[in-house]
């Protein structure tokens, strides 16, 4: 019974952290709000993996995961970005803030109906997009012109609903014994995050941004190759 409920416990934990992230963002604790999103990403990665390892996948878990992701990686990062950057832009800031979770919800709805191709997501996963946005917002104080951050946020919104392919890494397996080490790993990450609240979230931005760029790069390369192939056939 415990094994069957374990994946949902991770999912609910992700949802809980998403709500806490929003509360922290409202209180202007941007770094800690971003940390909640990062730890939520780890829980989100564990719930599906644990469900597959224990063979406890269910439609209930799938829907719960999507609803949690909208809050933790759609609404929470958008609120962080609004507080750090977009609040200065008036109604335009409201619009851009709303667009991000809306595109995230569309991305999740499409995924639930059409999961994509084996080994690939279609469109940037909301988990990655939310992680990028939450950590990217922490750089706002370094930029005199915050329009660039707004444009980046809109681009992330577009990538979520685009046809750009991203690798899933779902085939990277873990031994079942690792399930019981997951709570210890999460505690270690949480301790590190609160020990270095200013550094860790910004460090996480780099690999997440590279993942987003990778998909765009591969998509452009495939389009270029498709455009060149007809020319090669005529030679």
pLDDT tens per residue across all 235 residues of the chain: 656 677 788 899 999 999 999 999 999 999 899 999 998 998 888 877 777 777 777 788 888 999 999 999 999 999 999 999 999 899 999 999 999 999 999 999 999 888 777 888 899 999 999 999 999 988 887 777 789 999 999 999 999 999 999 988 765 555 555 555 666 666 777 777 677 767 777 778 888 999 999 999 988 888 888 777 655 544 5
H-assigned helices in 27-90 = 30-54, 59-69, 76-84
pTM for the whole structure: 0.84
Neighbours of 158 (CB within 10 A): 14
Burial class (CB in 10 A: 0-12, 13-18, 19+), 163: exposed
b/e per residue 197-217 (b: at least 16 CB within 10 A) = beebbbebbeebbebbeebee
| Beta pairing, strands 120-122 & 165-167 | antiparallel
Long-range contacts of 23-26 (CB under 8 A, 24+ apart): 25/76, 25/79, 25/80, 25/83, 26/79, 26/83
What's the pLDDT at 223?
83
Which pLDDT does position 56 carry in this prediction? 73
Measure the CA–CA gap between 147 and 35, rounded to whole angstroms: 24
Q: How far apart are the first and last CA of the chain?
A: 65
Q: Classify residue 41 by burial, with Cβ atoms within 10 Å: 0-12, 13-18, 19+.
A: buried
Q: Alpha-carbon torsion 194, 69, 58, 49, what sign?
A: negative
C-alpha dist (Å) from residue 207 to 56, 128, 136, 173, 188: 30, 10, 12, 21, 20
Which fold would CATH assign to domain 2-171+178-234? 1.20.120
- Kindly give, in sequence order, each residue whose CB lies less than 8 Å from that of residue 221, ignoring residues fewer than 6 positions away: none
Residue 172: other Cβ atoms inside 10 A = 8
Cβ-based burial of 133 (10 A; exposed 0-12, middle 13-18, buried ≥19): buried
């Amino acid at each position: 019974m415990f094994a069957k409920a374990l994946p949902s416990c991770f999912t609910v934990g992700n949802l809980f952290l998403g709500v806490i992230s929003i509360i922290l963002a409202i209180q202007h604790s941007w770094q800690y709000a971003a940390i909640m999103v990062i730890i939520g990403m780890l829980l989100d990665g564990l719930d599906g993996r644990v469900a597959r390892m224990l063979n406890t996948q269910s439609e209930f878990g799938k829907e719960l995961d999507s609803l949690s992701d909208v809050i933790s990686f759609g609404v929470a990062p958008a609120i962080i970005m609004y507080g750090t950057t977009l609040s200065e832009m008036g109604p335009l800031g409201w619009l851009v803030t709303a667009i991000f979770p809306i595109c995230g919800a569309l991305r999740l709805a499409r995924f639930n109906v059409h999961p994509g191709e084996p080994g690939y997501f279609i469109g940037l996963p909301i988990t990655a997009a939310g992680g990028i946005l939450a950590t990217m917002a922490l750089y706002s104080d370094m930029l005199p012109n915050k329009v660039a951050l707004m444009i980046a946020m809109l681009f992330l919104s577009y990538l979520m609903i685009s046809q750009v392919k991203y690798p899933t890494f779902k085939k990277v397996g873990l031994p079942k014994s690792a399930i019981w080490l997951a709570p210890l790993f999460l505690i270690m990450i949480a301790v590190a995050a609160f020990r270095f609240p200013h550094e860790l979230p910004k460090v996480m931005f780099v690999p997440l941004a590279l993942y987003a760029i990778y998909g765009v790069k591969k998509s452009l390369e495939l389009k270029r190759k498709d455009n060149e192939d007809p020319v090669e056939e005529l030679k």
